Amino acid sequence: MPQKKKPVARKRPAATKTSAATKPVAMMKPAAKKDAGKKQATSKAMAPGAPTTARKGDLIVIDSSKVGSPPREGEVLEVIQGAISVSYRVQWPDGHQSLIAPGLGSARVVPASTRRRPAIS
């Protein structure tokens, strides 16, 4: 009669050792930051394409959507800060005023300090 082999008892891992997938969130260590060695940007440096906020007296230039048409230029009379965006009350060269909220890249701002004012004669 052939002899039967006894089943081998396998050892279970200790109950105190658990993998990261089964650990409670409170026990897990925070992940290492990928940019730990990099310097953070200063608040003075602006990202390319970031909108510049106009101030009272600045010139706002809106390029035409039609090829060959001149851009519109107007003087900022008032800056209106909204919850999401910024609006400007602008006076155009023909004398009328309008309220505009330009989208990203649709307007340029020429600061009043660098702008040439027409000579009064």
Rounded to 10 degrees, what is the CA torsion of 69, 71, 77, 78?
100
Answer yes or no: pTM beyond 0.75.
Answer: no
Task: Provide the residue type at 55 as one letter.
Answer: R
72 versus 8: which is more confidently predicted? 72
Tokens 């004012």 found at: 117
Residue 103 pLDDT level (bands cut at 50, 70, 90): confident
The whole-angstrom separation of Cα 54 and Cα 60 is: 8
Inside any domain, residue 115: no
Inside any domain, residue 17: no
Q: Total domain count for the chain? A: 1
10 Å CB burial of residue 76 (0-12, 13-18, 19+) is buried
Inside any domain, residue 44: no
Residue 95 pLDDT level (bands cut at 50, 70, 90): very high
Inside any domain, residue 87: yes
